[in-house]
Structure 1
């Protein structure tokens, strides 16, 4: 029986997918690509590797991954979510294999992400370490279907040592801006929908994702518009020492913590004004 299936979502990932697949070709028992009808060389690059290549119309990350879990045959006992711009280090691969090959009460595992921005590792500002739920037993997890999605694992979880490297070679400022214009619209829409106003409660592990969601719902979203994006940037850049990462740290926290959150506030403010009219 195969032990580990890695599922990767792609759309026009010709710059990233080769290094991603190269890092797991001798590690995964199964590799499944769920492609959103790429128009570049993503498919032809994937055909050079032993993968199952499936295409499906994209709505958002969570719905696409859940579609894969429901519609694509997985033979392995364990599943790992990997993004096309990520790489699995040799140390992380060994630790994952070791943990899934032993008898364990765990139904899932958290992995630490190491983010590269403008060719530099962003270590400060609350960005590292960042534990993400990525490995789970087949049938024991599903993504919450929202813009800022999290994997909901049924039962006990634990952490696996080693870093998952995120280094998106497409992540020039134009790509970053266009990508976040879409996600900002999704987040702004969810602010007005009470169905999305809930915490992450699928497991008991104490991690930044759960903490951030809690404070986002109970503190950040209740703060005045525009003030909250400014204060969030100051918190990360000054109080969480983001400035120690130099100009790369400044640009990352400015665009990701300030500009992006400010853009969401503008969308929310516009919607409120339109409703008053």
Structure 2
């Protein structure tokens, strides 16, 4: 009998290296699996078929819009949905939580945050503000939706009460990012999206969906920190952010892989975004 409580919703694009790992981790939960693919040319669709997943196709624009389409493209018959990226895997602790999950035990709850353990080049990034790290991944299908006020970062939003499973871990490791060229090309594309988004926010064309609140939910705190970030001066803020993560949040303890990740993600990527913001502002002045 198919699990009556929740359905897994997964996004894919050329994920043959990741998808078997994820599908194996959720197999014993006996839940429906819906995969929205954006044009894979490898063996992703063949792998999905071997696990009896329902697959649909949709061209990729950005993650928030792709999740929005996924939530509307499938006929979800369960009260809950779990939205996962293909490079994520359920830990044994999270699997046990889900094995015993029953909708009737969570009346009055609209969403559940999972704790994430992020890995880079085989190293768990325990420091630098990357653990604990809570993601709203499980929510009621009739109330949750994708935040379309973001270009790059994607998050699900629910109007009601949420809880956190602090000891149930989602393991994330993008094996393709072990190739630094892949990582750089990917984040160069992301920097275009983020630069455009920040310009739109400066022009009041794009607002935050989540209420900024430092002592609120994990997403409300993120929204508050983003407001702080947008007020900081360009070019200076990447250096401040890297020092904060690497020194004050002990990212230095993550070793060689940690240095690469924290430097590239906190400084290099943010600096590229600021350079592109400056270029866009200069173009506006000359038009």
CA contact (8 A) 1:6 1:32 kept: yes
User: What SS class does the counterpart of residue 196 from structure 1 fall into?
Assistant: coil
Q: Which residue of 1 aligns with 2:117?
A: 114
Q: Please, what TM-score do these two structures have when normalized by structure 2?
A: 0.91
Cα distance, 1:157 vs. partner? 0.8
Cα distance, 1:276 vs. partner? 2.1
Cα distance, 1:70 vs. partner? 1.5
Deviations 1:74-119 (A, max 9, x none): 1111100011000012220221343444242101100000001110
Cα distance, 1:215 vs. partner? 2.0
Cα distance, 1:34 vs. partner? 0.4
Unmatched segments (≥5 aa) in structure 2: none
Q: Which residue of 1 aligns with 2:216?
A: 206
Measure, in 1, the Cα distance between the counterparts of 2:141 and 2:209. 24
Please give the residue correspondences for 1:21-60 in structure 2 after superposition, counting only pairs within 5 Å.
21-60=23-62
Of stretches 16-25 and 168-177 in structure 1, the one that deviates more from structure 2 is 168-177
Cα distance, 1:28 vs. partner? 4.3
Q: Which residue of 2 aligns with 1:3?
A: 5
Counterparts in 2 of 1:204 and 1:158: CA distance versus 1, 3 Å: farther
Counterparts in 2 of 1:86 and 1:141: CA distance versus 1, 3 Å: same
CA contact (8 A) 2:113 2:138 kept: yes
Measure, in 2, the Cα distance between the counterparts of 1:205 and 1:110. 16
Please give the residue correspondences for 1:234-245 in structure 2 after superposition, counting only pairs within 5 Å.
234-245=243-254
Q: Please, what TM-score do these two structures have when normalized by structure 1?
A: 0.94
Q: Does 1:89 align with 2:91?
A: yes
Counterparts in 2 of 1:205 and 1:56: CA distance versus 1, 3 Å: farther
- Number of equivalent positions: 276
Give the one of 163, 171, 174 matched to 1:168. Answer: 174
Give the one of 185, 188, 191 matched to 1:184. Answer: 191
Q: Does 1:149 align with 2:149?
A: no
Measure, in 2, the Cα distance between the counterparts of 1:46 and 1:76. 20
Counterparts in 2 of 1:141 and 1:135: CA distance versus 1, 3 Å: same
Cα distance, 1:166 vs. partner? 0.1
Cα distance, 1:189 vs. partner? 0.7
Give the one of 188, 196, 206 matched to 1:196. Answer: 206
Task: Tell me how large the CA RMSD over aligned residues is.
Answer: 1.9
Measure, in 2, the Cα distance between the counterparts of 1:21 and 1:42. 12
User: What SS class does the counterpart of residue 129 from structure 2 fall into?
Assistant: coil
Q: Which residue of 2 aligns with 1:228?
A: 237
Measure, in 1, the Cα distance between the counterparts of 2:117 and 2:5. 25
Cα distance, 1:207 vs. partner? 4.0
Measure, in 2, the Cα distance between the counterparts of 1:120 and 1:189. 32
CA contact (8 A) 1:108 1:157 kept: yes
Q: Does 1:272 align with 2:281?
A: yes
CA contact (8 A) 2:79 2:142 kept: no
